[in-house]
Amino acid sequence: MKRALVVLLALVMGAGLVFAADQAPAKWGAYLEGNFVFWNQDGQVAATDWYTAYTLSYAESVFGFTATMEPAQDAFAVGFRNVQGWYKLFDGMLKITLGKDRIGDYRATTFIEGGGAYTRIANAEWGTAFQVYPVEGLSAGVFVKFPTALADQDYVNSLGVGVSYAVAKVATINALFRTMDSGVSPALKENELGLSATINAIEGLALMVGYGVSLYDVNDPSHNILVSAKFTDLENWTFMLDGNLTYQVAPAGYAVELEADYAINPAWTAGVNLEYGNNGYGPLADTGFYVYPWIQANIGTAHTLKLGFTFETDPTIWSIPLFYTMSF
């Protein structure tokens, strides 16, 4: 039996190496993002309210890994948001990912906040994902969560299944179903179904729509709808919109966020974000109105510093935050 397993493993690895003969050069990557508050309505001083995430990655044509650490977390193990390695077989038709996986495939995201209407197929959870790419534009994947599934033999309630189909310069359509809880409210979102699409058939205009429903209680499901748009067909200007509607019991929750960016020159960008809503979507903590004018320094092509002033009503909250990103 052991000999058979060794032979099988050798054949699988050999297949990957054969298809990797003309692979692209290996590439290391590092990314840092974060923010902290200089001052707020409570007289809070700099760096007392901060967030930082470090990402390290390595990729070749057939294998690679990525790890992101959030050192603000209390526990060292929890601080690693995701630690995952992947390997491709059969000329890229099969991809296997193992670790604490965070995989955003099969889910469209909004243009301002970058969020989705439903949970990722793997949402920073320990497990294994198998993804197949049989034809151009088509992908299907299965994520199996462990060690829960291995300990309880409860595979049916520890799965995520997704599919997506993309037509270049037209649209990408996604569908996803998760049987496991996602660790987020409402009621941990067990048995969650999601549908989404990104449409880019019109030059200078991109649209996104997403719908997620949590079926943990079929008599009282939780609905989440997201729509988003991005308009770039004006010189130096970019306009974006996010809209969110949530409903489980009356009244419904809603939020609308707008962003306008103006590229002053390659080194500087200025903009403003406006939001109104009652469900805590995006930066708005509660019900009311939010405004955030800002200016961003673009340092080369890989680093940014973004300074602004945020103000929201009901209750009145203001702050002066600094956001930063660095890529290597």
Q: Is residue 100 part of a domain?
A: no
CB-CB neighbours of 159 under 10 Å: 18
Is 80's pLDDT higher than 70?
yes
For 169-188, how does the pLDDT look when each residue is reduced to its tens digit (9 = 90+)? Answer: 999 999 999 987 655 544 45
Identify whether residues 227 and 266 lie together within a single domain. Answer: no
Structural domain count, the chain: 2
Q: Is residue 8 part of a domain?
A: no
Q: Is residue 11 part of a domain?
A: no
Q: What is the mean pLDDT of residues 285-313?
A: 92
Choose one of 240, 269, 293: the last residue of a domain.
Answer: 240
Can you give the CATH number for the domain in which 286 is found? 2.40.160
Residues in the chain: 328
For 257-289, how does the pLDDT look when each residue is reduced to its tens digit (9 = 90+)? Answer: 999 999 999 999 999 999 999 888 888 877 889
CB-CB neighbours of 156 under 10 Å: 9
Choose one of 212, 240, 268: the last residue of a domain.
Answer: 240
Specify the DSSP class assigned to residue 168: T
Identify whether residues 283 and 234 lie together within a single domain. Answer: no
Identify whether residues 34 and 119 lie together within a single domain. Answer: no
Identify whether residues 56 and 118 lie together within a single domain. Answer: no
Identify whether residues 83 and 166 lie together within a single domain. Answer: no
Is 142's pLDDT higher than 80?
yes
Identify whether residues 226 and 258 lie together within a single domain. Answer: no
pLDDT at res. 47: 55
Identify whether residues 116 and 192 lie together within a single domain. Answer: yes
Half-sphere exposure (Cβ direction) of 238: Cα atoms closer than 13 Å: 14
Between 13 and 197, name the one with better pLDDT: 197
Identify whether residues 72 and 115 lie together within a single domain. Answer: no
Its domain, for residue 316, covers 23-89+250-328
Instruction: List the alpha helices (DSSP H) in the chain.
Output: 2-19, 76-79, 148-152
* CA atoms of 39 and 155, how far apart (whole Å): 49
Specify the DSSP class assigned to residue 62: S
Quickly list DSSP for 278-300.
SS--TT--SSEEEEEEEEEEEET
CB-CB neighbours of 186 under 10 Å: 15
pTM for this model (two decimals): 0.84
Q: Is residue 96 part of a domain?
A: no
Choose one of 240, 267, 282: the last residue of a domain.
Answer: 240
Q: Is residue 14 part of a domain?
A: no
Contacts 24+ apart (CB under 8 A), 69-78: none
Tokens of 75: 């526990």
Q: pLDDT band at 12, cuts 50/70/90?
A: very low
Q: pLDDT band at 1, cuts 50/70/90?
A: very low
Identify whether residues 230 and 175 lie together within a single domain. Answer: yes
Residue type, 203: E
